[in-house]
Structure 1
Amino acid sequence: MALLRRELYRQVRGPEVTHADRCALVFDTDTKSLYVEREVAHLDARVSGTIEIQTAAMDIADYLKQGGQTAGHRELWRLLRTLFKDTDDTEEMIGYVRALR
C-alpha cells in the first residue's frame, strides 16, 4: 500500500508537556482514495515520558467544515484553488473536448 502525503499543517508547543498537531492530505494509491489525516501527539516529560498519539482520517469536505480556519485549512484551500484554477485558454479547452469525441 503506497500512501502519498502532502503536509498541510504542523504545530508543536511546550517544553515539559509537548503537544504536536499535524494534518496532511493523503492519497492512497491502492484504494484510490483522497482524504485528510490528522495526527495529535501529547508527550508528558514529567510522567516518565508518557506519549499518547491519536490519528484520524476524514473526508476532505468534513475537514473543511470544521470550525475555525487553521493554517491547514488555508493550505488545503490554496491547493484546491490551484488544482481547479480557471483557464482563459478556451481554444485549448475546445481542442480537448473535440479530441474526446
Structure 2
Amino acid sequence: MAFLKRELYRQLKGTETTHEDRCSLVFDTDTKSLYVEREVAHLEIGNGGTIECQTATMDIADYLTQGGQTAGHRELWRLLRALFNDDSGNADSSREI
C-alpha cells in the first residue's frame, strides 16, 4: 500500500505541553482515493512524556467547507487552481470528454 502525501499545513506551539496540528493531501495508490488527513498530537513533558495522537480523514469538499480559512485551506485551493489552470496555449486542454 503506497500513499502519496503533500503537506498543506503544520502548526506547532507550546513549551511544556507541545501541540502539533498537521493537514496533508493524501492519494492512496491502491484504492485510488484522494482525501485530506488531519493529525493532532499533544506531548506533555511534565507527565512522564505522555503523548496523545489522533488522526482523522475527510473528503476534500468537507475540508474546504469547514469554518475559517486556514493556511491549509489556502494551500489546497492553490494546488487545485494550479491543477485545473486553463492553459490556452496547450491544444490538449481544449479537448472535451
Name the TM tier (shorter chain).
Answer: over 0.9
Per-residue CA distance 1:11-63 (angstroms, 9 max, x = gap):
10011000000000000000000000000000111111111000000000000
* Structure 2 CA distance for partners of 1:44 and 1:83, relative to 1, 3 Å: same
Runs of 5+ in structure 2 lacking a partner?
A: none
Q: How much identity, in percent, do the aligned residues show?
A: 70
Q: How does 1:14-33 map to 2 (within 5 A)?
A: 14-33=14-33
Query: What is the TM-score when the length of structure 1 is the normalising length?
Result: 0.89
Q: Which runs of at least 4 in structure 1 moved beyond 4 Å after TM superposition? A: 94-97
RMSD between aligned residues: 1.8
Residue matched to 1:49:
49
Runs of 5+ in structure 1 lacking a partner?
A: none
Query: What is the TM-score when the length of structure 2 is the normalising length?
Result: 0.92
**How many correspondences in the alignment?**
97
Distance 1:71 1:44 in 2: 26
Residue identity matched to 1:81: R
Checking the alignment, whether the CA contact within 8 Å between 2:86 and 2:93 is kept in structure 1 is no
Distance 1:3 1:94 in 2: 28
* Greater per-residue helix proportion: 1
1:9 aligns with 2:9: yes
